[in-house]
Amino acid sequence: MNTQLAKCRRCAKLFTRERGDLCPECKKDENRQVEKVRNFLDLHKESGPSKVAEKTGVAPEEILRFAKDGLIPASEYENIRYPCEVCQEPIASGRFCKRCNSNLAEEFEKTVEKMRDTGRPR
């Protein structure tokens, strides 16, 4: 297993990283927060990030990051959405909304075609 020294994203402490960007203590804390959020959402599926934050003490930004990172299944909760990385449209999974994903795929295909035709992108 490849390990390296890293700085914790949350507390800035140095730790030996095996995976992820949190030290073991912060990872445990994050796991507790995720569980607290999931437990609340399971009982109050209609709640949005502000309400969840108010009731759990977990910051709305963290709740949305948990959703984006797949730690909570946003698609199961109608008001937990985070922004598409391109247009900021609210989404429940992935990095891009359907429209932007389609546009990116189209642009990629055009670039591949140009490379086939000319041997390099334009």
The answer on pLDDT for 83 being more than 60 is yes
The answer on pLDDT for 85 being more than 80 is yes
Instruction: Please name the residues in contact with 105: beta carbons below 8 A apart, sequence gap of 6 or more.
Output: none
Rounded to two decimals, the pTM is 0.80
The SS3 assignment for 52 reads helix
Q: How confident is the model at residue 2 (pLDDT cuts 50, 70, 90)?
A: low
Q: How far apart are CA 40 and CA 56, in angstroms?
A: 8
